Each structure stands twice: as C-alpha cells, then as structure tokens.
Amino acid sequence: MANKEIDHVTGVETTGHVWDGDLKELNKPLPRWWVYVLYATIVWAIGYWIVYPAWPTLTGYTHGLFGYSQRAEVARSVAEAKASQATYLKAIAETAPAEIDNNPELMQFVLAGGAAQFGQNCAPCHGKGAQGFKGYPNLNDDDWLWGGSIEAIERSIAFGIRSGHKEAHDSAMPRFGLDGILTDAQISDAAEYVLSLSGEAGDKAAADRGAQTFAEQCAPCHGPEGKGTLDLGAPNLTDGIWLYGGRAGDIEESIRTGRGGVMPDWAGKLDPVTVKMLALYVHALGGGK
C-alpha cells in the first residue's frame, strides 16, 4: 500500500476503511505463530484425507491408506471380548451345574451373562425381574410346573413347553368345556372345589358338588389332594399361586379351555452354554430347588 495511514494515538497502521466519517479500524494482523498453526492444520487435514476414509464417492467412499474402518474396529473389540470370555465359557461347558453353583468365580460370570441373556430372550414374556405375568410364570418363587432343579430348568429352556420340539414338555390339560366333556355347571362346581383346596372360602355346597367331578376328571393329573404332578406339568392347586389368576372366573376359564401356554424351545436358537447359564441364573433367582 502506497499511502500507509498511521493512527497517531496508538502508532498502529489503520486498514484505511472509514465509518461514520471518522471511525477507522486499526490493522492488527493475526499473530504469525497463529497463522502458521492454521496452515499446519490445513496440511494436516490433507494428510488426513489421504490416510483415513474421507470423501464420499458415487459408489462408496475413499478408504484411505491406513484402511481404517470403525465397523472393523467394533468387530475387533467384540471378537476380543468374546476371546476373553472363552475360558469361562469353556469351563461352564465342561463343569456340572451343581459344581458351577459352588464356584463363586464362575457363578459371578454366569449371573452377569445370564442376566444379559435373560433380558434379551426371556424378559419379553417373563418380565425384566422374572416376575412373570398372567400366563407367564413367575420364576422367583418356589412353585415349579416342570421342576425347579438346575437340570429341570435347563431342560425346560432347551426344549420348551408344548413347543413342538420332540423332547418338549407336551402334556396338555383337556379342554373340558370347549370339547363338551363337562357342563358349565360342573365346571363352576369344580372351580369352587379347587378354590376350597387353597383354603379360599366360597360356596360350600357347590364345592361339595365339585368334589365328585374333581375326583373323576382332575385327580388323575393333579392328584387326589390337588398337589399336582411334576412330570405332567400339572400345577399344585393347593398353594396360593395361580398362573392364570386365582378367582373363580379365572379357574372356570382354565378348566373350560385347558389353557396350554407355550414356551419356545431355545436349543436351536441359543448355544448349550448360554442355555446352561440361563438355567443357573433362573435357579439363582431365589426359588431354585
């Protein structure tokens, strides 16, 4: 610039721009080091484009010389995590369930892994806390339809209940009402009798009438005292725990339709170690036998 204008107050050159007649801006360029840092970052950015994935193309993107990929990074971390679990998984596969239960270190792994698998696979029906819903048993209590030992639970998980798997628990209660085996009056009386088994006061006369029906139709599976039969999955009718509800109407509905809830077989979907871990986890929820 030919005619540099110096501001006389500060002794600094002005930019030559004038506002409002007399306002002038001092020319204070960026510090050199700052400018050089800026240039350095630009150079750095170009290097970055070359070695890392950077630009979209019509069919994909530039992969860069390092061949870096976040997806591959995730896959590697997952593989690493899997590898670090390998010794535990191997030990679980080779150890008898009862022994695992007595091994605090293995059990810690089982409970953490079991909780995660339970959340993914079981919680949709049984609930996050395994508390169950109507038709889906509570797994915290000590009332087991098909057995509460670790082995029994493992079998139920692996093959399911009425799942169609050839080794599944598949015995079913007859549909007494739907199939016309019992009349509505008989069903109602039988329900009253069932209620009386767990000490629920109701229609005494109806219960007495129902006793005959129970002895003929129900006792073969549920037992003469209504205590249930584990091998048949016939529930104990004398406790206060009702899978489908404990009011007279609920019980009548159960007798009428036979219910027959279904649980899938998991053996084909989960590996044996996961099933074992789930069995140990469920067993440890407090009600295991």
Cα(235)–Cα(256) distance, integer angstroms: 16
Number of other CB atoms surrounding residue 196 within 10 Å: 21
From candidates 94, 99, 142, 179, binder to another protein by CB under 8 A: 142
Q: x/- site string to another protein, residues 24 to 53, per CB under 8 A?
A: ------------------------------
From candidates 140, 171, 229, 257, binder to another protein by CB under 8 A: 140
From candidates 53, 64, 97, 127, binder to another protein by CB under 8 A: 127
User: Which residue, 12 or 262, has its beta carbon nearer to another protein?
Assistant: 12
Q: How far is CA 212 from CA 193, 206, 257, in A?
A: 9, 11, 20
DSSP 8-state code for residue 228: -
Query: Is residue 239 at the binding interface for another protein, with CB under 8 A as the rule?
Result: yes
Which residues in 260-279 contact another protein (CB under 8 A)?
A: none
Query: Is residue 286 at the binding interface for another protein, with CB under 8 A as the rule?
Result: yes
Query: Is residue 171 at the binding interface for another protein, with CB under 8 A as the rule?
Result: no
Task: Quote the radius of gyration of the chain (alpha carbons, Å).
Answer: 37
Residues in CB range of 140: below 8 A, 6 or more apart: 129, 130, 131, 285, 286, 287
Query: Is residue 172 at the binding interface for another protein, with CB under 8 A as the rule?
Result: no
Segments in the chain forming alpha helices (H): 32-51, 70-94, 97-101, 104-117, 123-126, 150-159, 184-197, 204-213, 219-222, 248-257, 272-283
Query: Is residue 236 at the binding interface for another protein, with CB under 8 A as the rule?
Result: yes
Stretch that binds another protein, among 41-49, 75-83, 141-149, 156-164 (CB under 8 A): 141-149
**SS3 of residue 159 by DSSP:** helix
Query: Is residue 138 at the binding interface for another protein, with CB under 8 A as the rule?
Result: yes
Cα(192)–Cα(145) distance, integer angstroms: 22
Sign (positive or negative) of CA dihedral 110, 116, 121, 123: positive
Query: Is residue 104 at the binding interface for another protein, with CB under 8 A as the rule?
Result: yes
Stretch that binds another protein, among 55-63, 77-85, 140-148, 211-219 (CB under 8 A): 140-148
Cα(120)–Cα(136) distance, integer angstroms: 16
Query: Is residue 120 at the binding interface for another protein, with CB under 8 A as the rule?
Result: no
Stretch that binds another protein, among 5-13, 31-39, 113-121, 261-269 (CB under 8 A): 5-13
Query: Is residue 103 at the binding interface for another protein, with CB under 8 A as the rule?
Result: no
Interface positions with another protein (CB under 8 A) = 10-12, 104, 127-131, 138, 140-143, 236, 239-241, 284, 286-287
